[in-house]
Amino acid sequence: MPPPLSENALVRRIAIQGLTPERLQAAAPDLLDLSHARRLVGHVLHHGHDDLAVRDFSRARVASLGARFHVPSLAVVERRRSPRDGFVKYLFRLADGAQIEAVRIPLFDTKYVVCVSSQVGCALGCVFCATGRMGFVRDLEPWEIVEQVRTIRREADRPVRGVVFMGMGEPLLNYEGVIAAAYAMSDPSSLAIAKKAITISTAGVVPAIRRFTDEGHDFRLAVSLTAGTHEKRRALMPIERKWPIEELIESVRAYATATGNRVTLEYVAIAGVNCGADDATALAALLRGISIRFNLIEVNDAGGEFSPPDAAELAAFRDALQVLGQPIVRRYSGGKDVQAACGMLAATSDGGQLLG
């Protein structure tokens, strides 16, 4: 179940987008039964209206609802479409002036997956990531996360069937906001994104992985690993100093055992740094016996410090990883030409092509 609403949320006007019908009904039991709440969520999220005027609701009911709820929006500052692969990067401005990004990813020419941000900036400072260089500003509220998807879905020419929490921020450091948003967008009367098509990614916040396991959510978990040893990971991902790799892998093992799910491990491949035979050997020892899917992502360093491995280095690393006996996937990280690829989101506008 999503975490309970904060008292603060109950005194301010509440954004409809961050609520499941059950939570909406619980916030206004004198105005809505569950069927009303489903219709109101459907009106805003499924049908994309920006008001509370559900057909057949009386004016008095709509006015009373308006005193407690609203449908805020995010300003779209820019949409940049990659002519190469059709990825579209959205730059949004929030009410406080902060900016975040989301990416619309085309899949099989039939549907879209949306990569959302969960925080403004990020505190974790992974050395290969543009967001990490911004530092942390604030958590996004659940509605601000859901609204990224609602906005993109509203103008999409194909259905949005999946969401990945791999944009700006560390999702598990905004745990309650992210879980509430995931429930809100997965509800059948809302955006109806299947729970198994929602992936929550983490750089390795171990207590939150344990909590996620204990709470038994049906969303998918992905973990950014990016090195096979403590020393190497510490140089790339400062979070390693707080939760070392052995502890991280134990939490991943516990999750995989408890859920029976294959855990996606993301591995940002950097030439001459983490793609050698010694790295494959360390990974094989570390991951023995865990059901994983190993995603290799070539680094996209807008700062120019790191380069992706060439074809020969990547192929040799991939071959060496076969010892894992698990699926190894070279993940396409698209939208490089519009700074929409993994590691490139920095909420900046460079006057790109405006669409639609």
Residues at the contact surface with ligand SF4, assessed by CB under 6 A:
122, 124-126, 129, 131-132, 168-170, 203
- Report yes or no: 327 and 293 within 8 Å, Cβ to Cβ: yes
Whole-number minimum distance, CB 216 to ligand SF4, in Å?
Answer: 24
Q: Smallest Cα–Cα separation from 100: which of 159, 174, 46, 42?
A: 174
Question: Catalytic residue among 101, 170, 240, 266, which?
Answer: 101
* For ligand SF4, the closer CB: 132 or 309: 132
* For ligand SF4, the closer CB: 203 or 340: 203
* For ligand SF4, the closer CB: 45 or 172: 172
Give 131's contacts (C-beta < 8 A, 6+ positions apart).
121, 122, 168, 169, 343, 345, 346, 347
Q: Which residue is nearest to ligand SF4 (CB)?
A: 132
Alpha helix (H) residue ranges in the chain: 7-11, 21-27, 34-41, 59-68, 130-134, 142-154, 175-186, 206-215, 230-236, 245-259, 277-287, 311-321
342 is catalytic: yes
* For ligand SF4, the closer CB: 225 or 320: 225
Whole-number minimum distance, CB 202 to ligand SF4, in Å?
Answer: 8
CA–CA separation, 140 and 76 (whole Å): 16
Whole-number minimum distance, CB 126 to ligand SF4, in Å?
Answer: 3
Q: Smallest Cα–Cα separation from 322: which of 278, 266, 281, 267?
A: 281
Which tokens sit at 46?
A: 């499924």
Whole-number minimum distance, CB 334 to ligand SF4, in Å?
Answer: 17
Question: Catalytic residue among 115, 122, 275, 342, which?
Answer: 342
- Specify which residues 174 forms β-bridges with: none
Amino acid at 189: S
240 is catalytic: no
Helix, coil or strand: residue 219: coil
* For ligand SF4, the closer CB: 174 or 190: 174
Whole-number minimum distance, CB 199 to ligand SF4, in Å?
Answer: 14
Q: Which residues are catalytic?
A: 101, 342
